[in-house]
């Protein structure tokens, strides 16, 4: 089974997934990293692990349709079965999602449907929520929506700082995302690979 990771930033979830694959805990081939920001640290992580990097900058294309068509062409070239969004800061169009229905995963730093959006950890912290967590879900046409695969809960401590809470959430992400990928690879969730 062939995997593509999409990321735009640091790439800590990318590294957690690579580690599990290299240790033989996930039986999948991570063939490409798709990144829309050439300066993102995740690119260095991929190159260090000798994983092919596909750079796709939105500004290099006339339209979002052209941008996504170019990415889809690369996915087809590599015969990608599963797409994992790991901090990819772009919304995929309904057309893209339809082509890979139940084969695109996302991870979100809250217990969805609560605290959707790009600033979930800060929103949770600012709202003084008693607990939060992490959600891995299949992507559909709505933002931070779609069938939930796994969730993990974190109690918010009275002495938590925003940074400390973020670290605990990310540590949980690094455990849950590989588990969700294993479920897909084992055929227990998602669409059957073409």
Q: Which helix (H) or strand (E) segment is 122 a member of?
A: helix 120-126
In this prediction the pTM is 0.94
User: What are the pLDDT digits (tens) for 106-128?
Assistant: 999 999 999 999 999 999 999 99
User: What are the pLDDT digits (tens) for 59-86?
Assistant: 999 999 999 999 999 999 999 999 999 9
Of 7, 91, 101, the C-alpha closest to 49 is 7
Alpha-carbon separation of residue 35 from 31, 84, 184 (angstroms): 13, 12, 23
**Mean pLDDT, residues 32-50 taken together:** 97
Q: Which domains does the chain have, with CATH numbers?
A: 2-185 (3.40.50.170)
- Using the predicted structure, report yes or no on whether residue 193 has a pLDDT greater than 70: no
**CA pair distance 152, 136, nearest whole angstrom:** 9
Q: What b/e string do you get for 32-63 counting C-beta neighbours within 10 Å, with b at 16 or more?
A: bbbbbbeebebbebbeeeebebbebeeeeeee
Of 72, 137, 74, the C-alpha closest to 99 is 72
Task: State the catalytic residues.
Answer: 108
Q: What is the DSSP letter of 59?
A: G
Predicted local confidence at residue 190, as pLDDT: 77
- Higher-pLDDT residue of 192 and 113 is 113
Name the band, by pLDDT with cuts 50, 70 and 90, for residue 191.
Answer: low
Residue 75: Cβ within 10 Å count: 23
């Amino acid at each position: 089974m062939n995997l593509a990771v999409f990321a735009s930033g640091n790439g800590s979830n990318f590294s957690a997934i690579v580690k599990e694959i290299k240790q033989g805990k996930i039986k999948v081939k991570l063939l490409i990293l798709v990144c829309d920001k050439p300066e993102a640290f995740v690119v260095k992580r991929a190159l260090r692990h000798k994983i092919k990097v596909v750079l796709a900058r939105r500004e290099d294309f006339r339209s979002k349709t052209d941008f996504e068509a170019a990415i889809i062409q690369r996915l087809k070239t590599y015969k990608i079965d599963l797409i994992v969004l790991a901090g990819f800061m772009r919304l995929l169009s309904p057309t893209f999602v339809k082509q890979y229905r139940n084969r695109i995963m996302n991870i979100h730093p809250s217990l969805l449907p609560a605290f959707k959006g790009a600033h979930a950890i800060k929103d949770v912290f600012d709202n003084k929520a008693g607990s939060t967590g992490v959600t891995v879900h299949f992507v559909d046409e709505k933002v931070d929506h779609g069938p939930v695969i796994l969730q993990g809960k974190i109690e918010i401590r009275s002495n938590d700082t925003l940074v400390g809470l973020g670290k605990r959430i990310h540590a949980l992400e690094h455990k849950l995302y590989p588990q969700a990928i294993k479920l897909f690879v084992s055929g227990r969730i998602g669409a059957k690979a073409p």
